[in-house]
Chains A and B, each alone.
Chain A
Amino acid sequence: MSELATPVSKKRPEFRNINAFTDLTTYRMTPAAWVSILHRVSGAIMFLLLPFIIWMFDTSISSEISFAKFKAAFNIGMLGLPGFIWKLLALALIWAYLHHFIAGLRHLYMDVTHAQTNEFGKTTALITLGLSILLTLVLGAKLFGLY
């Protein structure tokens, strides 16, 4: 190991050639990577919208009058914003909860069974992404009164 013995410390190479516009947009993430980052994003969304969640809990449960206010916020509007904006916000929460929930179950299952093959990771990641989006669409259609 003659390199280690040399007293002259060589400067470590730095690679700073990542361009945010040309490289990040063409970087292909695996399904498991998407599930992972979206798990974090969905958690952060729910963290930021906590007051809205508790507001919904409060108004929907406190009294008949507040329950009517709760319904009016989504059907008519609130704070100068039309009802569909609040419905979209609720839909964002629905997706975030579904994704976080299913991705979390995937985590728990992997921890318990020590499932750690590439195929299993890829299949369950695709199931997580697909199922959360599918259920969001189903519940979103209900929320906007399509059925």
Chain B
Amino acid sequence: MSVNYGSKRLVVGAHYGLRDWLSQRITAALMALFTILLLAQVIFTKGPIGYDQWAGIFSAQWMKVLTLTVILALLYHVWVGMRDIWMDYVTSRVWLRLSLQVATIVWLVACAGWAIQVLWRL
């Protein structure tokens, strides 16, 4: 028989409480590190920053891979945040909340696709 008490107890059916709480913090930490890394590269560039210097930052392969990871982290982070907003404020009509959640996903996936396209054609 499966254990369903103590640390193994089922609090809610979907288990998304802890998973989203944790993923929200991990994705946030990743984006914060990326921000600091990008800022450092901008600050330590000698002289005024024109197109060559700016595009040069993103042309390195490791920076592209890191930026891609951050775009995906952002995608999930924003999904969790926006879903929380819809769950908190749109409570009386399920069809409306579902529509807004679907629209959020479409919006986010479209934006992520655009950002990745810009990144990889560089």
Task: Please report A residues at the B interface, Cβ cutoff 8 Å.
Answer: 40, 43-44, 46-47, 50-51, 54, 57-58, 60-64, 67, 101, 104-105, 107-108, 111
Contact = CB atoms under 8 A, between A and B. Distances in A.
Interface in B75-122: 78, 81-82, 85, 104, 107-108, 111, 114-115, 118, 121-122
Contact of A40 (B25, B35, B85): B85
A47 B107 CA distance: 9
B10 interface: no
Contacts of A64: 51
B28 A50 contact: no
B32 A60 contact: no
- Interface of A, secondary structure class, is helix
6 A-B pairs with least C-beta separation: A67-B51, A58-B118, A50-B111, A54-B115, A43-B81, A64-B51
Given A105-B32, A111-B25, 18 more contacts: A40-B85, A43-B78, A43-B82, A43-B85, A44-B82, A44-B85, A47-B81, A50-B108, A50-B111, A51-B111, A58-B114, A61-B118, A61-B122, A63-B51, A67-B50, A101-B35, A104-B28, A108-B29
A57 B118 contact: yes
A50 B107 contact: yes
Contacts of A44: 82, 85
Main DSSP-derived SS at the B contact region: helix
B121 to A, nearest CB: 8
A62 B29 contact: no
Contacts of A40: 81, 85
A61 B55 contact: yes
A61 B78 contact: no
A116 B118 CA distance: 43
Contacts of B107: 50
Contacts of B85: 40, 43-44
Interface string B1-40: 0000000000000000000000001001100100100000
Contacts of B104: 47
B114 A61 contact: no
Contact of B118 (A46, A54, A108, A111): A54
Contacts of B58: 61
Which of A54, A58, A111 has its CB near the most chain B CB atoms (within 10 A)? A54
Nearest to A58: B118
